[in-house]
Amino acid sequence: MFRPVSSQLNLPQIEEKILGWWQKNKIFERSVENRQGCPRFTLYEGPPTANGSPGIHHVLSRIFKDIIPRYKAMKGYYTPRIAGWDTHGLPVELEVERELGFSGKTQIEEYGIAKFNARCRESVFRYLKEWEAMTERIAFWVDMEHPYVTMENNYIESAWWAIKQMWDKGLVYQGYKVTPHC
């Protein structure tokens, strides 16, 4: 009645076979397209910075970002999942400072702010292939073909627009918040 199951399972090989089948048959894309017109649940990935290799903590956070939209899809929701890349901020600047042997703001100004910014922009996607490989390997279903990128003007403009909307509604205030990290 049932085929015998081998006790010599090669789980990584089985995973690779399933991942290949999903890609070949565009299962992620079809899972999103098949639910168009249903109630919407959109995930905009809280974007990682791709100027460093992904680590185990990235795997964990991506698993959480994947579970919820999959659950919503199983409940009948249209669930577009938008990848993003954080291309701003201290991690990017610190890496470039380290590469250039800088230890502070004065050296950046002497080097030239525009030149330093250009160097930062060049660095942000240095490890993109590793990120894409990890994303694919852990079967994180997200639209990597159309990501939002925080250094693009349309993203920056939309952030300023949202802040202005909150300001106009009196929702912006000064306060204090404890954050459990440094």
Mean pLDDT across the stretch 84-105?
Answer: 92
pLDDT of 182 strictly over 60: no
Contact status, residue 144 vs residue 66, Cβ threshold 8 Å: no
Give 148's strand partners: 84
Tell me the two tokens of residue 86: 């954080």
Q: Band of the pLDDT at 37, cuts 50, 70, 90?
A: very high
Closest CA to 120 of 156, 157, 150: 150
For the chain, what percent of residues have pLDDT higher than 90?
Answer: 79
Contact status, residue 119 vs residue 75, Cβ threshold 8 Å: no
Q: Give the whole-angstrom CA distance, residue 149 versus residue 28.
A: 22
Q: What is the pTM of this model?
A: 0.79
- Going through 8-63 in order, the beta strands assigned E by DSSP cover 43-44
Q: Is 78 left (phi over 0), alpha (psi -120 to 50) or beta?
A: beta
Mean pLDDT of all residues in the chain? 93
pLDDT confidence of residue 18: 96
Q: Could you tell me the residue ranges of all domains in the chain?
A: 15-87+128-168, 89-123
pLDDT of 158 strictly over 90: yes
Mean pLDDT across the stretch 17-30?
Answer: 96
42-61 tens-digit pLDDT: 999 988 888 889 999 999 99
pLDDT of 180 strictly over 80: no
Instruction: Quickly name the fold that domain 15-87+128-168 has.
Output: Rossmann fold (3.40.50)
For the chain, what percent of residues have pLDDT higher than 70?
Answer: 99
104-125 tens-digit pLDDT: 899 999 999 999 999 999 998 8
Give 43's strand partners: 81
